Amino acid sequence: MNGSSITQAIVEGPGGGGTVPRYQRPHASVPQFTNSPTMIVLVGLPARGKTYISKKLTRYLNWIGVPTKVFNVGQYRREAVRSYSNFEFFRPDNEEAMKIRKACALSALKDVSAYFTQDHGQVAVFDATNTTRERREVILSFAKEYGYKVFFVESICDDPEIIAENIKQVKLSSPDYVNCDKDEAVADFLKRIECYKVTYVPLDDDCDRNLSYIKIFNVGSRYLVNRVQDHIQSRIVYYLMNIHVTPRTIYLCRHGESDLNLLGRIGGDSGLSSRGNKFAAALGKYIRSQCIPDLKIWTSHMKRTIQTAEAVGVPYEQWKALNEIDAGVCEEMTYEEIQEHYPEEFALRDQDKYRYRYPKGESYEDLVHRLEPVIMELERQENVLVVCHQAVMRCLLAYFLDKSADELPYLKCPLHTVLKLTPVAYGCKVESVFLNVEAVNTHRDRPVNVSVDRDPMDALLTVPDHS
């Protein structure tokens, strides 16, 4: 039942007239929409944000449940050529280097193939400059041979400020420049870019009109989209068109401690306890002290998040999608009661907390799908404070910090603690700010014994204290 990844069920047609295979991940909320694996191929000069896009897109696709992996050819090159001397390696007339670079690309393609066939990957992001038509032809032939779809993502930018900022943020700290002084590194990198410019052939409106691609101009002020083939490409385009690189901060926190929290009961729609109210006031003070320009505040539709936001004194928006996970028949129960009334359910949940769906309720997997529009809008926004709930916050945090489905349901999101997320380089800096108001612990670790016939005591071993 719960716990398996993909099952293939053979279904008898009516009247026994033949069998039809049916693929569906059990209990997945949304059907799988890709049949052929897809290769996303980046195109662009160095320092155009290809790796940034690759990593972000991969993180997003994995979060929504599409197994995706990045293949960064630069990494293969660093493994082949142990130490980087200078830009001369990238000169178009450096035959020795060209051989190595081509071998690296082919090696990466081989790994792409293995990822699809052996590791059940769905999407491979091929992160390299891919600036010549010749190189792109190699990739297209490869994909055609194996039956993979190809979608190109080209990043075009001629704004020297953006490029300089890019170099500063991610190139200076690259393994290639680990022993260089800053100015040398910048000078060398700029010469490296020049090496590519000579042979750069962008995707062409005419010659490449049968290819599927998106061209991103100047970090998103303009896009050219050609021949979107299917659902996943459509989602990728939508995502790429919503992300931006403007610096901003995302604050995540839960509602203040609630009356049901104190009683060790899950779910429900109770109000804040007195400590919860204290936290709300402290949150208000903290937020005001941060002096955040144009801060948006989002809450769920549940009383406890709204009460918390009220104390900040700034207009807020209520999202039903931010409501806590629906525990179905277990709503408002203590873990002890769940163990007593639904011991099997309780065990199944411990076996696969991500995919487990409460009877008449939801799973974490359902939550992720429910939260996808929230994430999409968070990407569009700038400074935002999201006041939500434990399971919801775990899902959002997993997206920002690239946590797997296995880790997600056990991420620590304690009450009365604000997580301040700041995008930096290819990831996210996290600051955890405890606002100094005591609260119960609501985090239940995975117990050692998850067997259906375990002792009640084994099941309840990790239940946090409560009244």
Whether the CB-CB separation of 192 and 90 falls below 8 Å is answered with yes
Kindly list the distances between the CA atom of residue 278 and the CA atoms of 283, 419, 446, in Å, as whole numbers in the listed order: 9, 18, 31
Q: Is 165 a catalytic residue?
A: no
**Closest CB 350 distance from other proteins, rounded Å:** 23
- Taking residues 338 to 377 in sequence order and writing x for each that binds other proteins by CB under 8 A, - otherwise, the string is ----------------------x-----x--x-------x
Element (H, E) at 290: helix 274-290
Among residues 406, 408, 445, 400, the alpha carbon closest in space to that of 426 is found at: 400
Whole-angstrom Cα distance, residue 405 to residue 366? 12
Nearer to other proteins, 177 or 213 (CB): 213
**Closest CB 391 distance from other proteins, rounded Å:** 16
State which of residues 331, 337, 382, 458 lies at the interface with other proteins (CB under 8 A): 331
DSSP string, 60-128: HHHHTT--EEEEEHHHHHHHHSSS---GGGG-TT-HHHHHHHHHHHHHHHHHHHHHHHTS--SEEEEES
Nearer to other proteins, 32 or 169 (CB): 32
**Closest CB 279 distance from other proteins, rounded Å:** 12
Q: Is 127 a catalytic residue?
A: yes
Establish if 160 lies at the interface with other proteins (CB under 8 A): no
Whether the CB-CB separation of 113 and 145 falls below 8 Å is answered with no
- Which positions ≥6 away from 274 have C-beta within 8 Å? none
- Taking residues 305 to 324 in sequence order and writing x for each that binds other proteins by CB under 8 A, - otherwise, the string is -xx--xxxx-xxxxxxx---
Report residue 162 as tokens: 């953006």
Kindly list the distances between the CA atom of residue 124 and the CA atoms of 108, 110, 207, in Å, as whole numbers in the listed order: 10, 12, 25
Residue 118 phi, psi dihedral angles, 5° rounding: -90, -35
β-bridge partners, 334? 265
Catalytic residue among 104, 188, 255, 326: 255
Nearer to other proteins, 22 or 182 (CB): 22
Nearer to other proteins, 27 or 168 (CB): 27
Whole-angstrom Cα distance, residue 458 to residue 463? 10
Q: Which range binds other proteins by CB under 8 A, 28-36, 97-105, 164-172, 408-416?
A: 28-36
Q: Which range binds other proteins by CB under 8 A, 95-103, 138-146, 157-165, 231-239?
A: 231-239
Q: Which range binds other proteins by CB under 8 A, 102-110, 125-133, 216-224, 387-395?
A: 216-224
Whether the CB-CB separation of 185 and 206 falls below 8 Å is answered with no
Q: Is 341 a catalytic residue?
A: no
Angle at 241 between CA 239 and CA 242, to 5 degrees: 65
State which of residues 17, 83, 118, 145 lies at the interface with other proteins (CB under 8 A): 17
Establish if 238 lies at the interface with other proteins (CB under 8 A): yes
Residues contacting other proteins: total by CB under 8 A: 65
Among residues 233, 271, 246, 73, the alpha carbon closest in space to that of 153 is found at: 233
Long-range contacts from 224-233, C-beta under 8 angstroms, 24+ separation: 229/149, 229/151, 230/33, 230/34, 230/149, 231/33, 231/34, 232/33, 232/34, 232/38, 232/66, 232/122, 232/123, 233/38, 233/149, 233/151
- Taking residues 373 to 412 in sequence order and writing x for each that binds other proteins by CB under 8 A, - otherwise, the string is ----x--x--------------------------------
**Closest CB 307 distance from other proteins, rounded Å:** 6
Q: Which range binds other proteins by CB under 8 A, 42-50, 135-143, 218-226, 457-465?
A: 218-226
Among residues 352, 350, 337, 355, the alpha carbon closest in space to that of 446 is found at: 350
β-bridge partners, 42? 153
- Taking residues 244 to 283 in sequence order and writing x for each that binds other proteins by CB under 8 A, - otherwise, the string is ---------------------------x-----x--xx--
**Closest CB 155 distance from other proteins, rounded Å:** 15
Nearer to other proteins, 21 or 160 (CB): 21
Nearer to other proteins, 160 or 315 (CB): 315
Report residue 427 as tokens: 């990831």
Establish if 22 lies at the interface with other proteins (CB under 8 A): yes
Establish if 436 lies at the interface with other proteins (CB under 8 A): no
Nearer to other proteins, 35 or 449 (CB): 35
Kindly list the distances between the CA atom of residue 343 and the CA atoms of 8, 335, 356, 396, in Å, as whole numbers in the listed order: 29, 10, 14, 29
Please count the other Cβ atoms lying within 10 Å of the Cβ belonging to residue 94: 14
Establish if 284 lies at the interface with other proteins (CB under 8 A): yes
Establish if 450 lies at the interface with other proteins (CB under 8 A): no
Positions that interact with other proteins (CB under 8 A): 11-14, 17-18, 20-24, 27-33, 209, 221-228, 230-231, 234, 237-238, 241-242, 271, 277, 280-281, 284-285, 288-289, 298, 301-303, 306-307, 310-313, 315-321, 331, 360, 366, 369, 377, 380
Query: Catalytic positions, please?
Result: 127, 157, 255, 324
